[in-house]
């Protein structure tokens, strides 16, 4: 992103993201306690995650599987030999005074993902964002500051270790991002990928996806980076975008007025829509990493890697490409339809059951999505199964019913399912495509409205809509609209 300034210096922002993603395992990364969200404080604790002496952590197999699968989905190299390390720091939410993480031999490195940026006119820009690394680590607990809702006013703190030891995958991007929009889109794509894999629910409100952002600005053309500032505490994609945009403006303004940018951590304040200084980093932190002696190294065999690779689903970027190229859908429709894997698979099942792709896409994005929002159901839970939707679309295509009738019977199909064909038959709603029947209906209408016929013939052609409406009313909407229009036009000409 470039920012124009009065002194004509053009700036660009350099942005990288560190994303912590909670993996969807049942138990913790090194112990058997539950990872269920929302339990009472300290319900899901055990001697290992509470950091008692003499315990032995053992890696959860599922954590390794998810980490490798996410790594593969991010086009990373998977380390043939990987290990865990201790990262030492002191904070009350970290019971051992060190976090088990991965330092110099992370499970995945050197990957990329592709973001698709859509402007208001529907034009697409695609950009590859480098992934530096992804590594496994344990989450810390949660602090509640008693005596005040602010840290500064509290007299003591309360610690809940339910979250301590939940498996995280930290995914670090290259500083390839240049705007708040790009960063937000990167985070969205990352969430799509982990959700497609079932590796994480990616819920930002519950903290299963947390993004820390590094932002610096520099004059365009300057090779070295400016001083980077870390921003935290964004709990939506929009907040990521807005926090970065605010921070870019703040830094450019500071440089313009001759201030020095401090290397620090700032918090995004949702209420005031700004970032505030949290603390100044004293040099780079000295975490004194050393290899975790309680955990064995990890060697992913080529056979295992192949097996996991074969289990990867078609990923969002590949789906988007296929929908555009094979199904002929627009970039916008494609983005909407592939955002959620279940929705995409529903659409694909509908098409596989014989429905026209564009028709199916329209129904899924329109009425079906509206119903999902209203009923708060997942697409897999609704009674309107893909085969039923395909049958409904087919009834319209072969002119058994009109689109209007289809919309009329849709609520019942959404609620109860069943065969659309039988439903329209039992209700006598099949489309009238018999020319004779339509002609006689039109004749009756024309005979009943001689004055309007006269007006039409003397130039008031807008009245065709009135006649059309009358025919539809007479046939309870069952007359084939196209055929009716043709015959009506002919008869009105006289």
Partner 1 sequence: MSIDREQVKKVAFLARLELTETEEEEFTGQLSSILDYFEQLSELDTENVAPTTRAIDVSNITRADIVESYRDRDAILNSAPDREGDFFKVPKIGQEED
Binding site for partner 1 (CB under 8 A): 25-27, 32-34, 40-47, 50, 52, 58-64, 81, 83, 88-92, 94, 143-146, 151, 154-161, 278-279, 285-286, 288, 291, 293, 295-299
Q: Which residues of 204-222 are buried (b: 16+ CB within 10 A; e: fewer)?
A: beeebbbbbbbbbbbeeee
Phi, psi values for residue 25, rounded to 5°: -90, 160
CB 442 within 8 A of CB 484: yes
User: Shortest gap between Cβ of 261 and partner 1 (angstroms)?
Assistant: 20
How far is Cα 345 from Cα 335, in angstroms, rounded to an integer? 14
CB 37 within 8 A of CB 207: no
User: Shortest gap between Cβ of 210 and partner 1 (angstroms)?
Assistant: 14
With CA atoms as reference, report the closest residue to 208 among 235, 243, 242: 235
Q: Give Cα 263 distance to the centre of its chain.
A: 32
User: Shortest gap between Cβ of 136 and partner 1 (angstroms)?
Assistant: 12
How far is Cα 150 from Cα 153, in angstroms, rounded to an integer? 6
User: Shortest gap between Cβ of 117 and partner 1 (angstroms)?
Assistant: 34
Question: For partner 1, which is the closer residue by CB, 265 or 430?
Answer: 265
Question: For partner 1, which is the closer residue by CB, 17 or 67?
Answer: 67
Question: For partner 1, which is the closer residue by CB, 304 or 449?
Answer: 304
Question: For partner 1, which is the closer residue by CB, 126 or 288?
Answer: 288
What H or E segment, with its residue span, contains residue 111?
Answer: strand 108-118
How far is Cα 170 from Cα 282, in angstroms, rounded to an integer? 23
Q: How many CB atoms lie within 10 A of CB 47?
A: 13
Question: For partner 1, which is the closer residue by CB, 161 or 429?
Answer: 161
User: Shortest gap between Cβ of 33 and partner 1 (angstroms)?
Assistant: 6
User: Shortest gap between Cβ of 274 and partner 1 (angstroms)?
Assistant: 19
User: Shortest gap between Cβ of 290 and partner 1 (angstroms)?
Assistant: 9
How far is Cα 379 from Cα 373, in angstroms, rounded to an integer? 10
CB 431 within 8 A of CB 483: no
Which residue has 């390390």 as its token pair? 85
SS3 377: coil
What H or E segment, with its residue span, contains residue 88?
Answer: strand 85-88
How far is Cα 175 from Cα 171, in angstroms, rounded to an integer? 13
User: Shortest gap between Cβ of 41 and partner 1 (angstroms)?
Assistant: 4
How far is Cα 208 from Cα 255, in angstroms, rounded to an integer? 36
Question: For partner 1, which is the closer residue by CB, 94 or 390?
Answer: 94
Question: For partner 1, which is the closer residue by CB, 26 or 378?
Answer: 26
User: Shortest gap between Cβ of 167 and partner 1 (angstroms)?
Assistant: 9
- The contacts of residue 328 (CB under 8 Å, 6+ apart) are 357, 358
Question: For partner 1, which is the closer residue by CB, 95 or 386?
Answer: 95
Question: For partner 1, which is the closer residue by CB, 288 or 306?
Answer: 288
Question: For partner 1, which is the closer residue by CB, 148 or 486?
Answer: 148
With CA atoms as reference, report the closest residue to 13 among 245, 257, 256, 275: 245
User: Shortest gap between Cβ of 89 and partner 1 (angstroms)?
Assistant: 5
């Amino acid at each position: 992103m470039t920012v124009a300034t009065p002194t004509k210096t053009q700036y660009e922002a350099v942005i990288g993201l560190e994303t912590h993603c909670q993996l969807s395992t049942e138990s913790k990364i090194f112990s058997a306690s539950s990872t269920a969200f929302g339990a009472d404080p300290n319900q899901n604790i055990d001697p290992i995650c509470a950091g008692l002496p003499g315990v032995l952590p053992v890696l959860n197999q599922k954590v390794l599987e998810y980490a490798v699968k996410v790594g593969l989905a991010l086009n990373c190299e998977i380390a043939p030999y990987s290990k865990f390390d201790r990262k030492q720091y002191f904070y009350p939410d970290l019971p051992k005074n060190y976090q088990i993480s991965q330092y110099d031999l992370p499970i995945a490195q050197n990957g990329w993902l592709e973001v698709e940026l859509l402007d208001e006119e529907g034009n697409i820009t695609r950009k590859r964002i480098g992934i530096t690394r992804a590594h496994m680590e344990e989450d810390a607990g949660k602090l509640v500051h008693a005596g005040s809702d602010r840290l500064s006013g509290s007299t003591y703190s309360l610690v809940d270790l339910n979250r301590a030891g939940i498996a995280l995958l930290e995914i670090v991007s290259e500083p390839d991002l240049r705007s708040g929009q790009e960063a937000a889109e990167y985070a969205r794509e990352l969430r799509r990928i982990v959700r497609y894999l079932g590796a994480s629910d990616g819920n930002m409100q519950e903290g299963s996806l947390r993004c820390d952002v590094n932002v610096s600005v520099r004059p365009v053309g300057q090779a070295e980076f400016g001083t980077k500032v870390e921003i935290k505490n964004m709990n939506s994609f929009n907040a990521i975008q807005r926090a970065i945009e605010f921070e870019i403006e703040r830094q450019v303004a500071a440089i313009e007025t001759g201030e020095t940018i401090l290397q620090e951590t700032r918090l995004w304040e949702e209420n005031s829509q700004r970032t505030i200084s949290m603390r100044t980093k004293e040099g780079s932190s000295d975490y004194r990493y050393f290899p975790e002696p309680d955990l064995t190294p990890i060697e992913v065999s080529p056979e295992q890697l192949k097996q996991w690779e074969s289990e990867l689903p078609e990923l969002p970027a590949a789906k988007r490409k296929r929908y555009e190229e094979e199904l002929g859908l627009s970039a916008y429709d494609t983005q909407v339809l592939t955002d959620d894997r279940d929705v995409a698979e529903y659409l694909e099942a509908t098409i596989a059951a014989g429905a026209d792709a564009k028709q199916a896409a329209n129904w899924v994005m329109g009425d079906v999505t509206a119903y999902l929002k209203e009923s708060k159901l997942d697409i897999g839970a609704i009674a309107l199964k893909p085969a039923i939707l395909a049958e409904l679309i087919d009834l319209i295509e072969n002119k058994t019913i009109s689109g209007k009738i289809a919309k009329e019977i849709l609520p019942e199909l959404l609620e109860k399912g069943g065969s659309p064909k039988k439903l329209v038959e039992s209700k006598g709603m099949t489309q009238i495509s018999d020319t004779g029947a339509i002609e006689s209906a039109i004749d009756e209408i024309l005979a009943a409205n001689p004055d309007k016929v006269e007006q039409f013939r003397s130039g008031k052609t807008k009245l065709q809509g009135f006649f059309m409406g009358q025919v539809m009313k007479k046939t309870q909407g069952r007359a084939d609209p196209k055929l009716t229009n043709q015959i009506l036009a002919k008869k009105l000409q006289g």
